[in-house]
Amino acid sequence: MTANRHFDPLDRLIVGADKALRVIAGVASASRPTPAAHAPDAELSPAEQRHSAGLMRVNHVGEVCAQALYNSQARYAHSPAIRAQFDEAGREEEDHLAWTAQRLTELGSRLSLLNPLWYAGSFALGTIAARMGDGRSLGFVVETERQVEAHLASHLQELPPQDAKSRAIVKQMAIDEVEHGAAAQRLGAIDTPAPVKALMGLMGKVMTKTAYYL
């Protein structure tokens, strides 16, 4: 069966390249229905609609980065169990990618113009983390998810109160991110050094400020 097929390095390279192109192009398939499906529609002013779209574009970029991180970390993981965890988390993050892309369309907006840059930079970071060993790589996941949780919490404060569809998506994303961080912790994550955490936070701020507009 395909799910159990052994991929040699060339296979993984081809699969990874194909996935990267699909992520950058905004092509994603969700395995779960969007949490926004049963949320009521709301009347948004033009300013509120632009603000919701900017925030959801930031969230979509975060998922582009997550795909790149998990793809690179899975590719260079030393343990099959840890590789499987990265692959599973990546599949769940693809739901987020599809949900946020769909919501952007509903809001009459577009994906970030800089998606190729976001993906390439995140893939490089994930590769560096993975080359430092599985424990450090898992620690990178824990810190990344911690920062993402804080970022999503701030969006729940910023989104228009009546934008129930965007809020439902962000709430489910936050739940999933908590579990991904906890799973990495259980597998033996090594704490990320404080200077690296600070650098990650700074890079995150640059990304969010830029992706809101571009």
Q: Is 78 annotated as a binding residue?
A: no
Q: Is 6 annotated as a binding residue?
A: no
Tokens of 120: 């390439």
Cβ atoms 214, 175 nearer than 8 A:
no
Q: Give 73's contacts (C-beta < 8 A, 6+ positions apart).
A: 86, 126, 127, 129, 130, 137, 140, 141
Per the annotation, does 180 bind a ligand?
yes
For residues 213 and 137, give the distance between their C-alpha atoms in angstroms, rounded to a whole number. Answer: 31
Residues 40, 164: Cα–Cα separation, whole Å: 6
Please indicate if the annotation marks 63 as binding a ligand.
yes
According to the annotation, is 60 in a ligand binding site? no
Burial status of residue 37 (CB atoms within 10 A of its CB: 0-12, 13-18, 19 or more)? exposed
Is 177 marked as a binding-site residue? yes
Residues annotated within the binding site are: 63, 93, 96, 145, 177, 180
Q: Which residues are annotated as a binding site for Fe cation?
A: 63, 93, 96, 145, 177, 180
